[in-house]
C-alpha cells in the first residue's frame, strides 16, 4: 500500500528532473552518513595498529630495561643484533617453524581425510560432526592442562596406561619429547578448524561429476586424486594461511605446560619475546623481537589478503 502511494506522488510531480536532483542530494547525504558510520571502526583500528606499532619501532632502537629506570639512550640496531644472534632466537625460530609446519601437516592431512570420510551420510552423522569440532571451543589453557595431566602424564596418564596394556614403555612426553607434546596439543585444537572448513567445502563438490567418473570406471583413489583434491585446493590454502597466522603466535599452551623449557626446547618466537619483555624486563630487545615477528606474519598475511581479496571480487 505504501509503495503505491509513492508511485502516486511521482506521477503527480510534473518535473522528473528536479525529482532526480533531490534523489541525488539525498543519496549524497546518505553517503555522508555512511562515512560517519564507518569512521569509528576505522579510527579505533587505525589507532590500534599505528600507536603500539610505532612505539614498538621506537623502543626497538633504545636501550630500555625496566630494571634500570632513567635515560633510554639510542643504540641503533644493537637490539636487533643481540636478538638475532642470541641462542634463544635460533632455537625460537626453528621451534616456531617446526611447530607451524608439523601442526599444518597434521591438520590438513587428517582434515582432508576426515571431511571425505564424513561426507557421505551415515547413522549419527550430526553427532559425529559435533564431536569432531568440539576441541575448537575448549580454551587453550584447559586443553593444555588436560592433555598434560590426564593424558600425557608418565605414570597415571591414559597414554601411559595404553602403552602398558600394549606392553610398551610409557613415554614421559614433556621430558622426552616436549616439542612433540606441544605439537600434539595444538594440532588437536586446530584439527576441528580444518575439518569445519573442508567439510563445508566438500558440500559444494559436484556430485554429478563424481557419478560420471564412477560410471567411467574410476576408482575411489582416482576420484579423490583428480576431482576431490583439486576441488579442495582453495579451502586448503585458506586453512593453511589462517592457521599459520595463529600458529605463529602460539602462547598459552607453552605458558601453561613447559614454560618454554627444558632449556629452549619448546620456546617459540612468541614465548621468547614474552620472556624478554615480562620476565627479563628488556623492553628494547623484546620490541626488536616483536617487530621481527610482525615481519614474519606479514609475509603470510600478504598472500592471505590477496586470496581473500580475490574471492571478494569474485562474489560481487
* C-alpha–C-alpha distance, residues 169 and 155, integer Å: 11
Residue 287 binds another protein (CB under 8 A): yes
Measured N-to-C along each axis, helices 78-85 and 283-315 cross at an angle, to the nearest 10 degrees, of 80
Residue 281 beta carbon to another protein: minimum distance, rounded to whole angstroms: 10
Chain positions 134 to 173 lying near another protein, rule: CB under 8 A, are 134-151, 155-156, 158, 160-161, 164-165
Residue 71 and residue 244: Cα distance in Å, rounded?
39
Q: Smallest distance, Å, CB 13 to another protein?
A: 13
d(CA 91, CA 152): 24
CB of 76 to another protein, least distance (A): 18
308 binds another protein (CB under 8 A): yes
Kindly identify the residues of this chain, within the stretch 173-192, that bind another protein according to CB under 8 A: 188, 191-192
Residues in contact with another protein, total (CB under 8 A)?
115
Q: Which three cell numbers stand for residue 157?
A: 596418564
Under the binding rule (CB under 8 A), the answer on residue 4 touching another protein is no
Q: In degrees to the nearest 10, what's the CA dihedral of 105, 111, 116, 121?
A: 170
76 CB-near residues (< 8 Å, 6+ apart): 61
Residue 222 lies near another protein (rule: CB under 8 A) = no
Find the part of the chain contacting another protein (CB under 8 A) among 69-77, 81-89, 97-105, 301-309.
Answer: 301-309
Residue 215 three-state SS: helix
Restricting to residues 23-82, name those near another protein by CB under 8 A: 26, 30-31, 33-35, 37-38, 40-42, 44-45, 48-49, 51-53, 55-56, 59
Q: Measured from the CB of residue 8, what is the shortest distance to another protein in angstroms?
A: 11
Q: Report in angstroms the alpha-carbon separations of 169 from 33, 172, 178, 183, 262.
A: 69, 9, 17, 21, 22
Instruction: Report 237-276 residues binding another protein (CB under 8 A).
Output: 238, 242, 245, 248-249, 251-252, 255-257, 269-270, 273-274
Cα–Cα dist 253/147, whole Å: 10
> Smallest distance from the beta carbon of 263 to another protein, in angstroms?
19
- Closest distance between another protein and the C-beta of residue 143, in Å? 7
Amino acid at each position: 500500500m505504501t509503495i503505491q502511494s509513492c508511485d502516486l506522488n511521482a506521477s503527480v510531480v510534473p518535473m522528473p528532473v528536479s525529482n532526480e536532483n533531490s534523489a541525488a542530494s539525498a543519496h549524497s547525504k546518505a553517503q555522508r552518513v555512511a562515512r560517519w558510520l564507518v569512521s569509528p571502526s576505522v579510527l579505533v583500528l587505525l589507532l590500534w595498529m599505528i600507536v603500539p606499532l610505532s612505539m614498538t619501532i621506537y623502543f626497538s632502537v633504545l636501550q630500555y630495561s625496566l630494571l634500570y629506570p632513567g635515560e633510554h639512550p639510542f643504540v641503533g640496531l644493537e637490539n636487533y643484533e643481540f636478538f638475532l644472534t642470541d641462542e634463544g632466537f635460533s632455537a625460537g625460530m626453528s621451534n616456531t617453524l617446526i611447530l607451524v609446519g608439523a601442526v599444518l601437516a597434521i591438520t590438513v592431512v587428517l582434515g582432508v581425510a576426515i571431511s571425505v570420510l564424513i561426507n557421505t551420510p551415515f547413522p549419527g552423522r550430526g553427532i559425529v560432526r559435533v564431536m569432531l569440532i568440539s576441541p575448537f571451543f575448549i580454551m587453550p589453557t584447559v586443553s593444555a592442562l588436560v592433555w598434560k595431566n590426564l593424558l600425557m602424564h608418565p605414570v597415571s596418564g591414559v597414554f601411559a596406561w595404553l602403552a602398558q596394556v600394549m606392553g610398551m614403555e610409557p613415554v614421559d612426553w614433556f621430558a622426552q619429547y616436549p616439542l612433540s607434546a606441544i605439537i600434539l596439543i595444538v594440532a588437536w585444537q586446530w584439527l576441528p578448524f580444518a575439518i569445519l572448513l573442508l567439510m563445508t567445502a566438500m558440500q559444494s563438490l559436484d556430485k554429478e561429476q563424481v557419478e560420471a567418473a564412477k560410471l567411467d570406471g574410476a576408482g575411489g583413489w582416482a576420484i579423490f586424486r583428480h576431482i576431490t583434491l583439486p576441488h579442495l585446493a582453495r579451502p586448503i590454502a585458506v586453512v593453511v594461511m589462517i592457521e599459520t597466522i595463529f600458529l605463529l603466535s602460539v602462547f598459552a599452551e607453552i605458558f601453561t605446560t613447559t614454560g618454554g623449557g627444558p632449556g629452549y626446547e619448546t620456546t617459540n618466537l612468541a614465548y621468547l619475546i614474552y620472556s624478554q619483555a615480562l620476565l627479563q624486563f628488556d623492553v628494547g630487545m623484546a620490541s626488536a623481537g616483536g617487530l621481527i615477528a610482525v615481519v614474519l606474519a606479514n609475509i603470510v598475511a600478504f598472500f592471505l589478503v590477496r586470496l581473500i581479496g580475490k574471492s571478494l571480487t569474485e562474489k560481487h
